[in-house]
Amino acid sequence: MRFSYAESVDSTLLHCDIACHRHSHHSHHSHRSHHRPDRRQRHHHPTKFILPDLVSHCTYPLRNNPYCYPISRSSEEWFLEVANHDSRQQAAFLKLKAGELTASCYPNADPFHLRVCIDFMNFLFNLDDWLDEFCVKDTNAMAKCCLAAMRKPSTYKTSKKAGILTKSFYKRLTLTAGPNCQRRFIHSMKLFFTAVAQEARHRERGIIPDLEAYITLRRDTSGCKPCFQLIEFAAGIDLPDEVINHPTILALEEATNDLVTWSNDIFSYNVEQSRHGTHNMITVLMKEQGLCLQDAVDLVGRYCKMSIERFEAHRQLLPSWNPDLDRKVAVYIEGLQNWIVGSLHWSFDTERYFGKRGPEIKQHRTVELLPKGSPVLPGSSHTNSRGLPTHPKTSPLTSPVVGVRSKPKSKAYYGGRLNPLRFFRMHAARSTENSPSVSVK
């Protein structure tokens, strides 16, 4: 009984909502207090859109790790030393504030474990940036380098930036991560690279997938799954496969992934559309269902709110294993909850999506559309379609990340994700203890 309900509640909530959208969408929003763009603007050439109020809908407590500031700054120094960014790239990278996101997602981690988590987050955001410029061949080369560095972090030899960074954070992760956690982390990264390669194929061919295909792909391009393994790592637990592969746990992970990723599609849309990006749920809905921009934004907002409701519904279905496992599962579920609330608030703290206007936009929720081809957000330097830095002359296409020059990207340019900071039925799996010093080699 529990299993059948857990497996059906997601599709019931989501697919029923899609089916009835055309009949109920306008009446659903007719009583909102915020001024909506007028009818002509909504359907032709909008100049702005209104964000859904996701922050108020999420009532989970926002917590911050007390070691956030010093560990974040140390991690930034670690990354920049290897990445060798120029001054423009460095300034844009520091505006990302990946450490602040990580500290709110792992608020109980000690300094050592928080440092590894922040290092990975800084790496993941920039990995995503590099891959945004790569063709399928180069993406696969990047995957081979990074996965080899994870499998043999002490012995794998590489001069590539991505490989050096991977060896550094992953070698420290293995000091305390349990075997289940390590295995699942590598598996999740394989899923990430496979999905990003598929996205590169879409980009090269100018393909915008349908909604169902997009949702499936986005759950892996989001990079959320390895971040969920870090919940175990940071807490010093290593859940057995029988727990992680339980349908209710999988559904809780999926609801979290969806909220984090779909809300990111809303927050990153403005930057993406200015770069003609199409890998975004809003763009998919506008194409597939013929929606105007504001209606598509509102619909994705409804899906985000439903994801939180799905999370709570599945939390009520959690079985009991034994007292010790139940305690560890509770820690893991709280970690997923921290990702939901932490990512929402961070989206307005980072300068990645709204420049310096994030706190202001968080209040009034009105986003003025950037013109097509706009080079940067206000107050930023050169950035790519995902809001991350590139140099006007030296781009990730020629940087020694994998040692292969990428093909120029197609006109069907994709953009901005959480990384992260990219969802319906994927089986992954997730780790452990000790707390050595925070030294990095």
Q: What is the pLDDT along the chain (441 residues), one digit of tens a residue?
A: 333 333 334 444 454 444 444 444 444 443 444 555 554 445 568 999 999 999 999 999 999 999 999 999 999 999 999 998 888 889 989 999 999 999 999 999 999 999 999 999 999 999 987 887 788 999 999 999 999 999 999 999 999 999 999 999 999 999 999 999 999 999 999 999 999 999 989 988 999 999 999 999 999 999 999 999 999 999 999 999 999 999 999 999 999 999 999 999 999 999 989 988 888 999 999 999 999 999 999 999 999 999 999 999 999 999 999 999 999 999 999 999 999 999 999 999 999 999 999 999 999 999 999 998 765 555 444 444 444 444 333 333 333 443 333 333 333 222 333 333 333 333 333 333 333 433 343
What 3-state class would DSSP assign to 141?
helix
Give Cα separations from 77 to 73, 115, 332, 357 (angstroms): 6, 12, 30, 26
**CA angle at residue 191 from 190 to 193, to 5 degrees?**
65
Choose among 411, 419, 408, 383: nearest CA to 135.
Answer: 408
pTM of the model: 0.80
Structure tokens at 110: 């000690």
Domains and their CATH numbers in the chain: 49-56+66-368 (1.10.600.10)
- Other beta carbons within 10 Å of 35: 8
Choose among 214, 133, 189, 225: nearest CA to 415.
Answer: 133
Contact 420, 218 (CB under 8 A): no
DSSP assignment of 35-75 equals PPPPHHHHHS--SEEE---HHHH--SPP---TTHHHHHHHH
Q: What whole-number distance in Å separates Cα of residue 385 and Cα of residue 374?
A: 10
